[in-house]
Amino acid sequence: MEFGMSQTVDARHEPGPVAFIIFGGAGDLTWRKLIPSLFTLHLNRSLPDKFAIIGVDRAALSDETLRKRLHEGVRRFSNLGSTKAADWKTFAAHISYQRGDFAAAKTYAVLARRLAALDEAWNAKSVRIFHLATPPSLIGVISKSLSAAGLARERQRARIVVEKPIGSDLESARRLNRTLTKYFHESQVFRIDHYLGKETVQNILAFRFANPMFEPVWNRRYVNYVTITVAEEVGVGHRGKYYEQAGELRDMMQNHLMQLVCLVAMEPPVSFSADEIRGKKVAVLHALRPFSHDEVQASTVRGQYGRGTIQGKRVRGYREEQDVAPDSHTETYVALQLFVDNWRWQDVPFYLRAGKRMPRQLTEIVIHFRPVPHRLFPSDAVPDWQPTRVIMSIQPDEGIVLRCYAKQPGSPMRLRQVDMRFSYREAFKTPSPPAYATLLQDVMVNDATLFMRNDQVEAAWAALMPVIDAWSATPAGDISNYAAGTDGPESAKQLIERAGHAWSPIA
């Protein structure tokens, strides 16, 4: 199956032999995301002939039991539909397992020998991708041990991939970045934010900078305000332990939503190089207006879902979820008002909201334009003026809508809003590749454009630290303030409505 990826092996240089070493090889991320994505790349002929996947973990597993479990993951989580048994068998032959303690030097000595044996068999110096599908607390020990075993040394072929969250605040993110760059050069480090691998997220740059007519109006003169919504139907599921420590601000806002703000607000890059694009994104984060203590109260909302109904099914409240404290104050919903203090965006509010257990999944960016300067139409032609909008739908209906006025047929003169619609499904007739497939392929060909640089991670934390500090100083009394299946707390509506603005409906 072809996926119409932006950059397949044909379009870029053919990668040489590559070994993927997955720490946490028996874990959840590996079977839900990493292996289904690598299998997609395999079917798409984007992996080189010579590749190996080594899962490293503590569980006692054989190669065969690991492969079986991973096959089950592909069946459940891949968007490939049914695949041929023969294809899986060919792919699975490249997977092996190494049992090992992440803190023991022996694990890395054995790994180094295995990797050397692969190089010998392939008669090549392979690229080695160390993917840490582990809790962040293990990043230090794994990177240090890889370095001690001599596996981090060669910059051109040793790469380390780490997952978010990078730290839990500015200080811990700095520490983590210092640790990583003590053992690996920054150019070897790939920090994943899987939103950047989504086609629709990458398309923000294409839409803005490959068409001449949007950029001239993409500024404070024409844009009234911007809303960014990341609504999820799912709750925290079995991730209560992690989520209790994180909350929605750290889990979604600090990374995924901040990335979206950067892509919407950044200045045009002069080239498509990784550092140029990342530099322009960091500039947005540096321009975010710092929250004062009072502004945190006025410009932020936190919430937590209680019991409710989603798609006709009763669901539990957050405090009843597995591994969640019955009196937990962790937020499962966040709304913020931000300003980007620069020439382009001065005083244009950016409203961001992210929440779990919303009525349905919806990720969407809406640019709300200012009204026309003069309404020449008779007043009854448009009973209720609505802003003209560009709606970028990231998921699930991938596409872009331009919502604008058109004349209704007949007389008298009446205007109505209509949608000019671009749909990925209709335009490309091919499923989008999974975000992880795009990202893993980019690591393979050493393209860091879609990964977070250390300064960007830190700038995103720095922007949110006043919120983190103010929230921890004053725990919210009434945090359990929206029922599952509704579109968030009342106070989030007030946040936006006091300026005469509005969220778009989620349901």
Check binding of 398 to ligand BG6 (CB under 6 A).
no
Say which residues have a Cβ less than 8 Å from residue 331's Cβ, sequence separation at least 6: 247, 248, 249, 302, 303, 304, 471, 476, 479
Please answer whether residues 318 and 372 qualify as being in contact, where contact means their C-beta atoms are separated by less than 8 angstroms. Answer: no
- Nearest 5°: the CA angle 452, 454, 458 is 100
Which residue number, 17 or 247, has a Cβ lying nearer to ligand BG6?
A: 247
Q: By rule CB under 6 A, what string of x and - marks binding of each residue 350-379 to ligand BG6?
A: -------------x----------------
Which residue number, 54 or 230, has a Cβ lying nearer to ligand BG6?
A: 230
Phi, psi (deg, nearest 5) at residue 198: -75, 135
Give min distance, CB of 236 to ligand BG6, in A.
7
Torsion 284-285-287-293 (CA) sign: positive
Which of 256, 286, 293, 329 is flagged as catalytic?
Answer: 256
Give min distance, CB of 246 to ligand BG6, in A.
8
Bridge partner list, 226: 350, 367
Count residues near ligand BG6 (CB under 6 A): 4
Cα dihedral angle (203, 195, 364, 307), rounded to 10 degrees?
170
Give min distance, CB of 200 to ligand BG6, in A.
11
- Which tokens hold the place of 241? 């332990």
Check binding of 251 to ligand BG6 (CB under 6 A).
yes
Tell me the residue ranges of DSSP E strands in 216-258. Answer: 223-231
Q: By rule CB under 6 A, what string of x and - marks binding of each residue 472-501 to ligand BG6?
A: ------------------------------
Q: By rule CB under 6 A, what string of x and - marks binding of each residue 189-228 to ligand BG6?
A: ----------------------------------------
Give the separation between CA 264 and CA 275, rounded to whole angstroms: 18
**Cβ-closest position to ligand BG6:** 251
Identify which of 346, 341, 356, 344 has the alpha carbon closest to the alpha carbon of residue 268: 344
Which residue number, 200 or 224, has a Cβ lying nearer to ligand BG6?
A: 200
- Which tokens hold the place of 385? 């003026």
**Helices and strands (DSSP H and E) totals, the chain:** 16, 18
> From the list 57, 199, 232, 442, which residue makes contact with ligand BG6 (rule: CB under 6 A)?
232
Check binding of 442 to ligand BG6 (CB under 6 A).
no
Which residue number, 122 or 451, has a Cβ lying nearer to ligand BG6?
A: 451
Which residue number, 152 or 166, has a Cβ lying nearer to ligand BG6?
A: 166
Q: Which helix (H) or strand (E) holds 461?
A: helix 454-473
For residue 71, CA distances in Å to 84, 87, 116, 499 come to 12, 11, 27, 52
Q: Which helix (H) or strand (E) holds 490?
A: helix 490-497
Give min distance, CB of 79 to ligand BG6, in A.
12
Give min distance, CB of 232 to ligand BG6, in A.
5
Phi, psi (deg, nearest 5) at residue 399: 165, -170
Alpha helices in 184-316 (DSSP H): 199-209, 240-248, 258-265, 274-287, 293-299
Which residue number, 232 or 321, has a Cβ lying nearer to ligand BG6?
A: 232
Assess whether 256 carries a catalytic annotation: yes
Give min distance, CB of 262 to ligand BG6, in A.
16
Which residue number, 232 or 458, has a Cβ lying nearer to ligand BG6?
A: 232
Restricted to residues 259-298, the positions that interact with ligand BG6 (CB under 6 A) are none
Give min distance, CB of 230 to ligand BG6, in A.
7
Give min distance, CB of 56 to ligand BG6, in A.
23
- Nearest 5°: the CA angle 452, 457, 458 is 150
Which residue number, 364 or 458, has a Cβ lying nearer to ligand BG6?
A: 364
Q: Active-site positions?
A: 256
Binding site for ligand BG6 (CB under 6 A): 232, 234, 251, 363
